[in-house]
Amino acid sequence: MDHAILAHSLSKRYGRNAAVDDVSFEIAPGEIVGFLGPNGAGKTTTLRMLAGLIRPSAGRGEVLGRRVPGPSLREVGTMIEEPSFYPYMTGRENLRHTALLHGGVKRERIDEVLAFVKMEAASQKRVRAYSQGMRQRLALARSLLWRPRVLLLDEPANGLDPVGIADIRENLRTVAREGVTVLVSSHILAEIEKLVDRILAIEKGRLVFDGPLRSLLARAEGLMLRYTLRASDPDALERALVALGLAPERTGEALEVDVGAERADDLVSDLVRAGVRVTEARRASDDLEDAYLRLVKADARPV
């Protein structure tokens, strides 16, 4: 088996609207892959199809070499949409109930996953008293109960404070080192950047990028670079930028402008030749959020 997860021309339509439109990708065993996209882009619908929760309108999904829905889903752990628990039961009781439904889960495994997500102390509280962050931790524990070989996670860090987000990140790194394949969606791009080496980016139901994180950063850099500029005369700076065919944005006394990479090196010298005394020219750092936003801009979207 050369892939743990396969999406082949997956599509899902609701009436005339395509929530997911001809999405294809493969994920190898043991990979951690980030799934990016704005709300409504199709991330959750794709994950639900791969988890066998909804049937595709076209195409197919496979997990561990078998088409879904099917028996391979017994080896999949999921956190998709808002986690649902019995509020009148404790966290431990909820996990015990899930373990009984799934079958084949040893009793001591409940203690192991509670310790793994640092929920031992809260495990005897009723879930109705849990914060959102505690529910997220419990949901991750539940997804790990039967030692799955694949994890499908939808915004697992929702409601967590920075410490909790870092804990989830380390949890996922740990299970990936054990050979578990992880497909994780998130809008917290800074965390995805710290966790994954490969990115799937989806917008309006279509996959717009599939590749290494470094390639996304390099690709976006090739499109546009953002500079923050200051000058002794901000108005003269703005006029000069407009004359160069650019569209500056005011942020206080500074101006921000997107410049094509091919002319970025000449930007300051062009301004000096226009008679502008530039006092600061700072390029924005290349991070995943900047790269992703550039990628999906209407004027820069891949075809």
- Could you report the per-residue pLDDT of 140-152, keeping only the tens digit for each? 999 999 999 999 9
- Reading the block at residue 225, the tokens are 């670079």
Which CATH entry fits the domain spanning 5-212: 3.30.460.10, 3.30.70.260, 3.40.50.300, 3.90.1640.20?
3.40.50.300
Q: What is the residue extent of each domain of the chain?
A: 5-212, 224-295
Task: With cut-offs at 50, 70 and 90, classify the pLDDT of residue 301.
Answer: very low
Residues above pLDDT 70, as percent of the chain: 88
Angle, alpha carbons 133-138-142 (nearest 5°): 145
Omega prior to 69 cis, within 30 of 0: yes
Nearest to 37 by CA among 212, 195, 159, 154: 154
Inter-residue contact 88 to 46 (CB < 8 Å): no
pLDDT of residue 303: 34
Inter-residue contact 224 to 218 (CB < 8 Å): no
pLDDT of residue 291: 62
End-to-end CA distance of the chain: 31
pLDDT exceeds cutoff 70 at 29: yes
Collapsing DSSP states into helix, strand and coil, what is residue 270?
helix
Most confident of 135-144, 162-171, 270-279: 135-144
Neighbouring-strand partners of residue 278:
231
CATH code of 224-295, in short, is 3.30.70.100
Inter-residue contact 180 to 149 (CB < 8 Å): yes
